[in-house]
Amino acid sequence: MKVLFVIDHLWDYRLPLYQKLSRSGNIKFFLTNWKYAKNPADLNCRVIRSKAELVSALLKEDWDVMIWGEAGSRKLTLNLMDGILCLLISRVKRKPFIVWFGGWEVTQKDYWGEGIINALKRMGASFIIPWLLKRSDAIVTYGNFHKNFYTTVFGINPHKIFIAPNSSIISSNKVDSEKQARFIRERLGLEGKKVVLYVGRLEKRKNVDVLIKAFAQLKRDDTSLLIIGDGKLRAYLEGLCKGLNLRNVHFLGRIERDELPPYYQLCDVFVYPTVHEPWGLAINEAMQFGKPVIATPGVAAAHDLIKQGVNGFVVPENDVQALAKAINTIISDEELAKRMGQKSREIIIQGFTYEHMAKGFEEAIRYCCYM
């Protein structure tokens, strides 16, 4: 079985998935965003530099099933054009066409921003995405939230939707992470303090201002808030902390993914308060390190990863008091936090590894080949 993957480019956190799939079958990757393309030695890749080259390569390449996807990476409009071309050529060659897609928030107005151009883009995406999904032979998506959304909102046949549980496992040495965590605690003056952690961009929809206001309501000198990430709202958020007279909030800027383990290791609770998110892989990562997590219903990962009161809490978006209460509940009870953290790690190990993710793709391929 020859499988052709047509994707934007190889994100670092996806490489373990692609490597597992490649070891289990004959897989080739077409990378359509050549500016960011990587070509690992253990993967069979071809960089595509134009739409014309994509059409030519698809027609000439020998493949049995095509997977196109991850269309939400950088230029959604351009990637959707790739999807249309892939679908049309798969029909010309009479070969199965699988869509790998985890977007749902692209139908939301605030995803695109204001203005006529953005409104037209939203209308186009709201038409093209369901059109592609309905005409595919199978769909691979991130979790149950997406499957329910596609069936109820887009009217997709649920039998052709397969879940490849969205995964992000960071390789780390526990001893080294704990050693680095102790060093960070000492450097930031966190000895003897509870730590609330946020990892993500600093932009409007992420609701970091809501987290800061909730943190202010705790009124606890024994607790610190670490904010990892950068963005255009950083100056505003730092000003908000100053206005609230918060001295125990640390803005640490952007930190590379492979350097995050000690921060996950030292925190007591991870909070992801964003309004809407296609998934939220930072939640996976915090849970991998055995931490309680808090998110909102607009974070797709929350529906699969967070069991209310068991390994964390799902709180209403923009609800400062509810978020403050959830944080305080966890940091005020060490035994509860420990149980929640243990459950978080179990959930990741039992269902959200790269092995589980690869299985979802394999099931979709089998479905297409024997339908």
18-23: long-range pairs with CB below 8 Å, 24+: 18/43, 19/43, 20/354, 20/355, 20/358, 21/358, 21/361, 21/362
CA separation for the pair 199, 237 (Å, rounded): 14
Whose structure tokens read 């190889």?
Answer: 10
The rounded percent of the chain whose pLDDT value lies above 70 is 92
Residue 105: what pLDDT? 72
CATH superfamily of the 174-351 domain? Glycogen Phosphorylase B; (3.40.50.2000)
pLDDT band at 73 (very low <50, low <70, confident <90, very high): very low
Q: Which residues pair with 161 in a beta bridge?
A: 139
Model confidence at 177, pLDDT cuts 50, 70, 90, reads confident
pLDDT of the residue at 78: 63
Q: What is the Rg, in whole angstroms, of the alpha carbon atoms belonging to the chain?
A: 22
Q: Which architecture does CATH list for 2-167+353-370? A: 3-Layer(aba) Sandwich (3.40)
Residue 268, amino acid = D
11-50 confidence digits (pLDDT tens): 889 999 999 999 888 999 999 886 666 667 689 999 999 9
pLDDT in tens, 185-221: 999 999 999 999 999 999 999 999 999 999 999 999 9
Q: Which of 272, 266, 315 is nearest to 291 (CA)?
A: 266
Q: Scan for tokens 């921060």, then name that residue.
A: 263
pLDDT band at 74 (very low <50, low <70, confident <90, very high): very low
* Bigger pLDDT: 272 vs 121: 272
CATH 3.40.50.2000 in the chain, residues? 2-167+353-370, 174-351
**Stretch 55-66: mean pLDDT, rounded?**
95
pLDDT exceeds 70 at position 280? yes
Q: How far apart are CA 26 and CA 183, in angstroms?
A: 45
